[in-house]
Amino acid sequence: MEIKPVKQKTVVYQVAEQLKKLIVSGTMKPSDKFPSEMKLAEMFGVGRSTIREVMKIFQYIGIVEVHNPKGTFLSDSSNISSESLEWAMILGEKDISEVIELRLVMETQGLWYLLDYHKNDNALREKTLRALKDQIDKMRRAIATSSVEMRLDADYFFHGHLIRVCENRIFDNLYETMREFMRMEIKFAQQDIATLSEIPDHHEALLASIVDGDLHNASTAFRRHIRNIDHLLESKLHTD
């Protein structure tokens, strides 16, 4: 792949873009060592300070790993930081809605794996059902002991068990990144519930839809649940 000397003002951005293209094209692969700072500066026609700045950014978001004195290496996907997604969740109403949409996609995919693709895997089914029931029991204990933290965690992990069925590392990492946002989302959505016992009762109904084994009905129930959260958050954003 041809590397073009950088001539415009936004040199850090342009160097980062060209390095990204090298990685996307497969010219560089995970665990490959980057050329030295001096060599990269010569390749891109920029100063060493520009290369240093790009590498600092890449290191911060987990694209590269620095192993002194060996050098700088391209990371694999498991080390990529989730800063971009976290900021997307922080920056306003539209972004929050889009993050909820992402959560919906991951959960309904989990339902598809559980009720269709792996429908004959009784061990997976029973393991998942037990895990979901355990979280509902924790919700009830949390309500009985007035433990808000336990209740929020139980709600978060209930939905996480479905995403885990996908056995998709990117999904798992994304959901972990969403943890604090999800807790905030759940807390806001539950503020207007008159009786806290409705929370585990509602999740019992979601669990029942899985036990019934009808993918369409279960997906509809989960979509309705998550869409309701989205609407509650939107109404709060408009009134607060």
Q: What is the pLDDT, as a whole number, of residue 155?
A: 93
Q: Between residues 182 and 153, which one has the greater pLDDT?
A: 153
Does 95 score more than 70 pLDDT?
no
- Residues 110, 56, single domain; the answer is no
User: pLDDT tens-digit profile of 40-53?
Assistant: 999 999 999 999 99
Residues 114 and 212 in one domain: yes
- The tens digit of pLDDT for each residue in 10-38 reads 789 899 999 988 888 888 888 999 999 99
pLDDT band at 185 (very low <50, low <70, confident <90, very high): confident
pLDDT at residue 68 is higher than 90? no
Residues 223 and 155 in one domain: yes
Long-range contacts of 178-184 (CB under 8 A, 24+ apart): 178/85, 178/89, 178/99, 178/103, 181/86, 181/89, 181/96, 181/99, 182/103, 182/156, 183/152, 183/153, 183/156
131 and 218 together in one domain: yes
Q: Please indicate, yes or no, whether residues 158 and 191 belong to a single structural domain of this protein.
A: yes
Nearest of 121, 167, 107, 161 to residue 138 by alpha carbon: 161
Smallest CA-to-CA distance from 108 within 235, 234, 227 is with: 227
Confirm whether 182 is domain-assigned. Answer: yes
Domain co-membership, 51 together with 134: no
How many Å apart are CA 73 and CA 51, to the nearest integer? Answer: 14
Q: Which residue has the higher pLDDT, 228 or 203?
A: 203
Q: Do 67 and 164 reside in the same domain of the chain?
A: no
**pLDDT at position 36, please?**
93
Backbone phi, then psi, for 33, in 5-degree steps?
Answer: -90, 135
- According to the model, what pLDDT value does residue 23 have? 87
Containing structural domain, residue 18? 11-79
Domain end (from 60, 79, 98): 79
* Same domain (yes/no): 64, 108: no
For residue 227, what are the contacts with CB-CB under 8 A and spacing of at least 6? 104
Residue 153 in domain: yes
Q: How confident is the model at residue 231 (pLDDT cuts 50, 70, 90)?
A: confident
Residue 104's nearest CA partner among 184, 202, 183, 222 is 222
Residues 138 and 166 in one domain: yes
For residue 2, is it within any domain?
no
Residue 20 belongs to domain with CATH number: 1.10.10.10
214: pLDDT strictly greater than 70: yes
- What does the alpha-carbon distance between residue 59 and residue 95 come to, in Å, rounded to a whole number? 25
Residue 91 pLDDT level (bands cut at 50, 70, 90): low
Answer left, alpha or beta for residue 71, where phi above 0 means left and psi between -120 and 50 means alpha.
Answer: left
Specify if 5 maps to a domain. Answer: no
Does 6 fall in a domain?
Answer: no
Q: CA-to-CA distance for 1 and 21, rounded, in angstroms?
A: 9
Whether residues 54 and 173 share a domain: the answer is no
Pairing of strands 71-74, 64-67: antiparallel
- Per the structure, the count of domains in the chain is 2
Mean pLDDT of 224-240: 71
Whether residue 74 is found in the same domain as residue 89: no
Are residues 17 and 54 both part of a single domain? yes
Is the residue at 67 inside a domain?
Answer: yes
CATH code for position 134:
1.20.120.530
At 191, is the pLDDT very low, low, confident or very high (cuts 50, 70, 90)? Answer: confident
For residue 19, the tally of other CB atoms under 10 A from its CB is 23
Rg for the chain, CA atoms, rounded: 23
pLDDT above 70: percentage of residues in the chain: 83
> Is the model more confident about 88 or about 141?
141
- Asked whether residue 84 carries a pLDDT value surpassing 70, the answer given is no
Closest CA to 22 of 7, 3, 38, 35: 3
First to last CA, the chain: 52
Q: 36: Cβ–Cβ under 8 A, 6 or more apart, which residues?
A: 71
Residue 236 has pLDDT above 70, yes or no: no
Q: Which of 25-39, 62-76, 221-235 has the lowest mean pLDDT?
A: 221-235
Residue 3 resides in a domain: no
Which of 38, 64, 79 terminates a domain? The answer is 79
Average pLDDT over residues 127-149: 96
Taking 70 as the threshold, does the pLDDT of residue 6 lie above it? no
Whether the pLDDT of residue 92 is over 60: the answer is no
DSSP-derived letter for residue 177 is H
Domain stop point among 42, 57, 79: 79
